[in-house]
Structure 1
Amino acid sequence: MVEELLAAGIAAGIGIVVYLAGAARVVKQYERGLVFRFGRLRAGVRSPGFTLVVPVVDRLRKVNMQIVTLPVPAQEGITRDNVTVRVDAVVYFRVIDPANAIIEVEDYRFAVSQMAQTSLRSIIGKSDLDDLLSNREKLNQGLELMIDSPAVGWGVQIDRVEIKDVSLPETMKRSMARQAEADRERRARVINADAELQASRKLAEAAGVMADQPAALQLRLLQTVVAVAAEKNSTLVLPFPVELLRFLERATESQPAPRTGAQPQGPGAHPQGPEQAVGPKAVPAAPAPAAGQAHAPVHTPEPHAPEQAVGPKAPLRCANADPGLPRATSDDATGLPQPPPGPVTEPDPAPAPAPAPAAGTPSQAA
């Protein structure tokens, strides 16, 4: 009898140990447990620690509540300004509702990964290249909102999304490099021009001080000579006195300016300035005719242009005229040549032409 009781106790103990071994479960601190009895979710979530389930009847499903780092594969797309780029990102999320994460979606990790890829391609097409390169914070926030909207129903919360790298074509990289180089060169030129402007202002102030104090200019000249002599060269520097230059400058300023135009010489010459315009130039008279010849009519010369200035009036002379014959003189009032005094004979009239022979009349022999 005792032996039977002892055997039954041992069997019961073994059964209890086996039951406990099949029913005991341990939930870790970062996990939550869901119990399914005959495939139906039981109310309540098993907290971390030791818990028991009914063997064969219940099934415990553990859900990780830690933040998951999910890399998004590189996606190739065309930006709004028609530039082909490859962009990859990383998503940080965690489960906030274990029941929805297990029931509402088959694999919440895969679902979040696919949603991140489609959202990344969509955000590439809506953005410019400059935004992808310089305004990533705004793009990260927009991408986070696009992924978080459907993930809330899955019991998943998106903590943050970061764009890791933006790959550009080689041609675009070279173009951007040239643009950056041109911008740096422009800024360098602006800085050099500003420095030249400031230096010119300081030099102008220094020149004013040296003009007021001549001794300062001499000291500066001596410093220049010392600086040149300090180098090992064979150049001989002879300083030129500044006072001598100033003396020559004052002498040049005090010298009167030369008059323009030559003054006529002689007792009867009238002074004539460059601005006085004289009447028309005197035209020499034609040679006087010989005795018994008729005088040719005198033609009045045309006056010259008013802007032509000539010298004082002079008596008209003919180089080929006979000294014994009277000479033509010019009138003092008009400056035109006058015929010599004496009787003027009229020229012989030209003979009249012979009348033409009438028609039918025989011509006379020569």
Structure 2
Amino acid sequence: MVEELVVAASAALAGCAVYAMAAARVVKQYERGVVFRLGRLRREVREPGFTLIVPVIDRMHKVNMQIVTMPVTAQEGITRDNVTVRVDAVVYFRVVDAPNALVEVEDYRFAVSQMAQTSLRSIIGKSDLDDLLSNREKLNEGLELMIDSPAVGWGVQIDRVEIKDVSLPEAMKRSMARQAEADRERRARVINADAELQASKKLAEAAGEMSRQPAALQLRLLQTVVAVAAEKNSTLVLPFPVELLRFLERAQQPAAPTPAPRAADALRTAGETAPEDAAGAAETAGETAPEDAGVGPAETAGTTASQPAIGPRVEAPGHADALAEALTEGFRKAVAEGDGGPGAVPRASRRGEEPSGGHPPDGAAPPSAPSAV
């Protein structure tokens, strides 16, 4: 009898042990247990720790509540500005409602992955290339909203979505590289131009100060000479006096205008009237020579020749000296030609020589005039 009781107790203990082993479950801290009893969902979610279920009747599913990192397969699409790109992304999500994650969708991971791919292609078609390259924050927010809207009913919450990489065609990469290089060159030119403008202003101010201080200009000249002499070359430097530069600057200042046209007109008038006056004087001398019996022909000729008719004297400017000399030479030639005309005094009588008709030289007694009958 005792043996039978011992055997029964042992069997009961063994049955209890088997039952305990079959019913015992351990839920980890990052998990939640969802129990289905005879295929029906029990709304009581098993918390982390030790728990028991009815063997054979109950079936418990553990759901991971951690944030899941899911890479999205690279999607190729055409942007709004007709550029073919290839974009890949990554999605961060976690389950917030374990029963819905098991009941509402067959595989919430696969569902989230497919939704992320379709949303990514939609974002590519609605965006420009510049937005994909520089305005990714806004695109990430748009992707998060597009994926999170249907995922809420699945018991899944989208934490964030990030665009990882944007792949461009090689031709587009070269074009963008040239554009970036041109933009950098433009900025460099603008910076250089601003620097030259500021430097020119400072140099102008320094030049003004040095022009007001001759000693500073001389010191600068000496500094330049020292700098050139310090170099190892065969250049010979001869300092140029600053005072000479100032003298040349004053000499190059425009002078007062001179009445050159009026002087030229006066000289031209004198040249035209000189031959007429000379001819008139010669005729007068020729007419008076036979009548003046008490005066010698040489004396009369000398008097006439010593008073030639000269036109009005005009003070010519310095730049008209050549013109004045030419007009004077013409006047002399005109007087010489007038001496050989009718009624003119013989050339020899004016020069103090004996004329061809037998007139004595200057200082000799003139011959007696023939007496009138």
User: What's the TM-score, normalizing by structure 2?
Assistant: 0.71
- The aligned counterpart of 2:49 is 49
Matched, 1:31 2:31: yes
Aligned letter for 1:245? Answer: L
Q: 1:20 to 1:208 in 2, by over 3 A?
A: same
Distance 1:256 1:41 in 2: 118
Number of residues of Structure 1 aligned to a counterpart in Structure 2: 275
Q: Secondary structure at the match of 2:209?
A: helix
- The aligned counterpart of 1:62 is 62
Distance 2:221 2:34 in 1: 96
CA deviation digits over 1:303-362, x for unaligned, max 9?
Answer: xxxxxxxxxxxxxxxxxxxx99xxxxxxxxxxxxxxxxxxxxxxxxxxxxxxxxxxxxxx
1:247 Cα shift? 1.7
- The aligned counterpart of 2:167 is 167
Distance 1:181 1:269 in 2: 82
User: What's the TM-score, normalizing by structure 1?
Assistant: 0.72
Aligned letter for 2:228? Answer: V
Q: Secondary structure at the match of 1:237?
A: coil
Aligned letter for 1:230? Answer: A
| Percent of paired sites with the same residue | 81
| Segment of structure 1 superposing worse, 163-172 or 35-44 | 35-44
1:246 Cα shift? 1.2
- The aligned counterpart of 2:15 is 15
1:253 Cα shift? 3.4
1:42 Cα shift? 1.3
| Segment of structure 1 superposing worse, 261-270 or 132-141 | 261-270
Distance 2:133 2:157 in 1: 27
CA deviation digits over 1:137-168, x for unaligned, max 9?
Answer: 00000010000000000000000000000000
Aligned letter for 2:132? Answer: L
Matched, 1:142 2:145: no
- The aligned counterpart of 1:201 is 201
1:260 Cα shift? 3.8
Distance 1:172 1:159 in 2: 33
1:270 Cα shift? 9.7
CA deviation digits over 1:165-202, x for unaligned, max 9?
Answer: 00000111111111111111111111111011101100
1:249 Cα shift? 2.7
Distance 1:171 1:207 in 2: 53
- The aligned counterpart of 2:349 is none
Q: 1:64 to 1:204 in 2, by over 3 A?
A: same
- The aligned counterpart of 1:349 is none
Distance 1:258 1:242 in 2: 31
CA deviation digits over 1:235-276, x for unaligned, max 9?
Answer: 1111000101212332343866565443324444697x9xxx
Q: Secondary structure at the match of 1:33?
A: strand
1:43 Cα shift? 2.5
Distance 2:131 2:252 in 1: 70
- The aligned counterpart of 1:102 is 102
Matches within 5 A, 1:78-117: 78-117=78-117
CA deviation digits over 1:45-104, x for unaligned, max 9?
Answer: 000000001111110100000000000000000000000000000000000000100000
Distance 1:16 1:255 in 2: 133
Q: Of Structure 1 and Structure 2, which has the larger fraction of its residues in helix?
A: 2
- The aligned counterpart of 2:233 is 233
Q: 1:95 to 1:254 in 2, by over 3 A?
A: closer
Matched, 1:127 2:140: no
Matches within 5 A, 1:236-275: 236-253=236-253, 260-261=260-261, 262=264, 263-264=267-268, 265-266=270-271, 267-268=310-311
Distance 1:11 1:114 in 2: 54
Aligned letter for 1:114? Answer: Q
Q: 1:254 to 1:63 in 2, by over 3 A?
A: closer
Question: What is the root-mean-square deviation in Å for CA atoms of aligned residues?
Answer: 2.1
Q: Secondary structure at the match of 1:74?
A: strand
